Amino acid sequence: MSAYRLLCRFRLVLAISSALVLGLLAWNLVQSRSYDPLEATRLEQMQLRLAANPKDDALRDQLRTLDRQVRERYLHHRRVALQGLALLAVLASLLALAHAAAETLRPRSYSAEPDATEILAQTRAKAAQGAYVLATALGGILVVLATLGRNDPLGSYVREGMKPHATEAPGQASGSAPPAPPVGQGSLPPADPLALGKPPLAGSLPATPPTTRLEPEAPAGAGTQRPSSPAVRPAPSKSALPDLEPCLPAGLEADWPRFRGPAGNGVAAARPPLPGKGLKVLWKVAVPLPGWNSPIVVKGSVLLAMADSTRREVAAFDARTGELLWRTPIPYQGPLPKVSQDTGYAPSTMASDGERAYAIFPDGLLVGLDLGGSVLWTRSFGPFENPYGHASSLLCHGKNVIVQLDQGSDPEERKSRLVALDGATGKNVWQVDRAVSASWATPLLLRAGTRELLVAMAPPLVCAYDPDTGKEVWRVEGLGGEPAPCPAFDEHRVYAGNLGSYLFAINPSGEGDITRTGVLWDTSDYLPDIVSPLAFRESVYLLGPDGTLACLRAKDGSLVWEHRIGLTKASPTAVGDAIWLVTDAGRLVVLQPGDAYRELGAMELGEVVRASPAFVGDRVYVRGQDHLFCLGP
């Protein structure tokens, strides 16, 4: 068969495929517009009923279910429209190229000049084919615009919930209506009752007054809710923001002694080469037992906690060669804790003060070891009233080890604690009971001006404590969901939030309840369920559960860009002038911070990775599902 005939058949296949895709886009448009108008009324009525009776858990569950259904349906049609338009653009481009190539290869007779009728027929054929390509492309664009531009009450409801908002300037008229709170996540709706606090549904129940803003669900007894409107929360001026600095452990500034590095905020002083520019696997060793905790690196050793349902251990590897230096068994002392697949039996990252190392497990057993692997002491804080088992990581302040022990479903029962222990003996230095429910987040240390702050988050509070005494310094109310990401900070702000709640940008200079005066802005877009935020160079990077990485402006929470990188559990790290992260599939990606998504390099590790890497000197230590990797020049 000649090349011309092959191209003609290929052109026909492309034309049919384009028509099918256009038809599917039209069908998606019809389906997106085919909504039940009573849904808008039901949502509005349920919001108002729940506002009047916020303790009605059955109504709350119904509202949450309907809200999620509306969001998922809207986002599904939106995703189909955008993906279909991209496919249609590819098909139309290929069709145009195939048509041009076929015309070049068309057999021609040289025995006689073509008559006027033949020339006219060829011209009409070319015009018809060009018109078909143009009509297909324009038709696809119009259909997609019609799908995205839904102006019905439910479409407006979801789009309004995808917008972040900043605190309004002081001086707004006191009688003005409060702005609609940001609700929902651009690509995957949060799982908590996001319908609470939605703006009124345009076009539904016109005689009904606007819905009072409510906050994301907090467990029973959560106490005072977050203020109903940011208008009553005067925003501090830029000059009022304090200068924030990390509390670096003495002598360990260049090591990696805890989760997310020496400062605990995911910013590294290391300088490894980039993938494709000298970075390679220096060694790779098998890890004896599983565990999703991240490696720590202290005085030339890489330390890991590991466990399964039959045994658990702490192990040390030579950071230079990967040689296994020692393994210390930590026997189970009671019934196995109930854990999820995402946490496993060793989810908490260890910590070290440079003289000792500390590990904690889901049953609440905390163990102190010397750096040679000998057990110095143990403390049991379990069992926990916790659906996943304990998963918060440890940190050290001076020679004390600090443990966040949040549990329970009712904050008023005060089952949660924040404890500082003497690293040498394991005895309490101070202990604070907390009126919060279960959390899996890790606390954060920082210096704000002349004072040090220990920031911990659990529903319904984000609190700062004096790390020397445990005395509470300030609090922000309104946190919901099930927090697993740890807080972060940049030069002027603290960031805390999670899926099913809000991300708060906080001015940490106040005292007492700073909910109204210290929250600079908040958003519910792109919120993470596990991955901790990264605050770096006036931007905040959030990685949601669907694998979408979003860059927000630190000053107001507005979106700069978003990009889907794939499912990821490891938290991003700022290393030098770049941002490093590892996806669940084991793809190491290095990004350039800025106003657009740009990859500087990538590397495949060939193994599932859910632990955040450690960065020391010119080396990167990555814990995979079965191996510990060392990358470097």
Unique residue bearing structure tokens 């927090």: 483
Q: What is the pLDDT of residues 66-109, one digit of tens each?
A: 776 777 777 777 778 888 788 878 887 887 787 777 777 766 65
Q: Model confidence at 187, in pLDDT bands (50, 70, 90)?
A: very low
Q: What is the mean pLDDT of the chain?
A: 82
Is residue 451 within 8 A of residue 466, CB to CB? The reply is yes
Six token digits for residue 199: 């703006």
CA 351 – CA 256 distance, rounded (Å): 9
* CA quadruple 213, 222, 482, 428: dihedral, nearest 10: 150
* 352 pLDDT more than 90: yes
Q: What is the pLDDT of residues 281-300, one digit of tens each?
A: 999 999 999 999 999 999 99
- Which own/partner contact pairs does 96-103 have at CB distance under 8 Å and 24+ positions apart? 96/130, 96/133, 98/7, 98/10, 98/11, 98/14, 99/11, 99/126, 99/129, 99/130, 99/133, 101/7, 102/4, 102/7, 102/8, 102/11
Domain 238-632 listed as CATH 3.40.50.720: no
* 413 pLDDT more than 60: yes
Is residue 483 within 8 A of residue 218, CB to CB? The reply is no
CA 308 – CA 556 distance, rounded (Å): 44
Q: Model confidence at 331, in pLDDT bands (50, 70, 90)?
A: very high
Give CA separation, 489 vs 174, 237, 349, 395, 442, in Å: 32, 18, 20, 16, 14
Find, among 439, 445, 450, the residue nearest to 420 by Cα.
Answer: 445
* 37 pLDDT more than 80: no
3-state DSSP call for residue 100? helix
Is residue 390 within 8 A of residue 348, CB to CB? The reply is yes
Six token digits for residue 403: 């443990």
CA 264 – CA 445 distance, rounded (Å): 7
Question: What per-residue confidence (pLDDT) applies to 154?
Answer: 64
Q: How do the residues of the chain divide into helix, strand and coil, expressed in percent and rounded to 5?
A: 25, 30, 50
* Edge-to-edge strand ranges of the sheet holding 451-458: 244-246, 444-448, 451-458, 461-465, 472-477, 512-513
Give CA separation, 339 vs 333, 363, 385, 389, in Å: 16, 9, 12, 5
E strand or H helix at 10: helix 3-33
Q: What is the pLDDT of residues 224-279, one digit of tens each?
A: 333 333 333 444 444 479 999 999 999 999 999 999 999 999 999 999 999 999 99
Q: At 18, which amino acid appears?
A: S
Q: How many helices (H) and strands (E) does the chain have?
A: 5, 36
Question: What per-residue confidence (pLDDT) applies to 501?
Answer: 92
E strand or H helix at 297: strand 296-298
* CA quadruple 232, 238, 240, 242: dihedral, nearest 10: 120
CA 283 – CA 317 distance, rounded (Å): 11
Domain spans, the chain:
3-160, 238-632
Is residue 143 within 8 A of residue 29, CB to CB? The reply is yes
Question: For 53-207, where are the alpha helices, taking DSSP H only?
Answer: 57-105, 116-148, 153-161
Mean pLDDT of 110-123: 61
Unique residue bearing structure tokens 């600090």: 402
φ and ψ at 510, to 5 degrees?
A: -85, -170
Cis ω before 383 (30° cut-off from 0): yes
* 622 pLDDT more than 70: yes
Question: What per-residue confidence (pLDDT) applies to 347?
Answer: 95
Find, among 419, 416, 541, 548, the residue nearest to 483 by Cα.
Answer: 416
CA 270 – CA 299 distance, rounded (Å): 15
Find, among 188, 45, 190, the residue nearest to 480 by Cα.
Answer: 190
CA 223 – CA 453 distance, rounded (Å): 24
3-state DSSP call for residue 370? strand
Q: What is the pLDDT of residues 588-598, one digit of tens each?
A: 999 999 999 99
Q: Model confidence at 453, in pLDDT bands (50, 70, 90)?
A: very high
Q: What angle do CA 128, 130, 131 make, to 5 degrees?
A: 65
Is residue 481 within 8 A of residue 520, CB to CB? The reply is no
CA 493 – CA 555 distance, rounded (Å): 9
Neighbours of 223 (CB within 10 A): 12
DSSP structure class, residue 198: P
Q: Model confidence at 114, in pLDDT bands (50, 70, 90)?
A: low
Mean pLDDT of 375-389: 88
Q: What is the pLDDT of residues 502-530, one digit of tens each?
A: 999 999 999 999 999 999 999 998 999 99
Q: What is the pLDDT of residues 558-582, one digit of tens each?
A: 999 999 999 999 999 999 999 999 9
* Whole-prediction pTM: 0.67
Is residue 185 within 8 A of residue 162, CB to CB? The reply is yes
CA 41 – CA 233 distance, rounded (Å): 31
